[in-house]
Amino acid sequence: MNQNELGFLVTLETVIRDRLQNPDSDSYTASLAASGSKRIAQKVGEEAVELALASVAGNRAEILNEAADLIYHLMVLLNAQDMRLSEVVATLEERHNG
């Protein structure tokens, strides 16, 4: 994995933030946010369970799809709470450097 591959997460977060700040009725992100923090949290939980079950089944494509869904919904949750993925990364770095 290289920096360019991870750079898409910055792009995705920018899109998510824009959809939260400028809701459009055609946007899944905007409609999810409009349904409230409880629904966003519920989606994060659902996707985490689906990823866990996919990993047990061992289907690589399904695992990747569910992992992508989880990361996306996590990023929506974070941004809806006015937090950024970079803050999560900083927390991980702090724990690692202990």
Instruction: Give yes or no for residue 59 having a pLDDT over 70.
Output: yes
Instruction: Give me the mean pLDDT over the 20-42 stretch.
Output: 96
Residue 12 amino acid letter:
L
- Residue owning tokens 């450097």: 97
pLDDT confidence tier of residue 4, bands split at 50, 70 and 90: confident
pLDDT of residue 3: 67
pLDDT confidence tier of residue 5, bands split at 50, 70 and 90: confident
List the domain range (segments joined by +) for residue 80: 3-97
Decide: residue 36, CB within 10 A, 0-12 exposed, 13-18 middle, 19+ buried. Answer: exposed
3-state class (DSSP) for residue 98: coil
Query: What CATH number has the domain bearing residue 62?
Result: 1.10.287.1080
- Number of domains present in the structure of the chain: 1
Weakest mean pLDDT among 3-7, 49-53, 59-63, 65-69? 3-7
pLDDT of residue 1: 65
- Residue owning tokens 């990993």: 55
Give me the phi and psi of 18, to 5 degrees please. Answer: -65, -45
d(CA 65, CA 86): 22
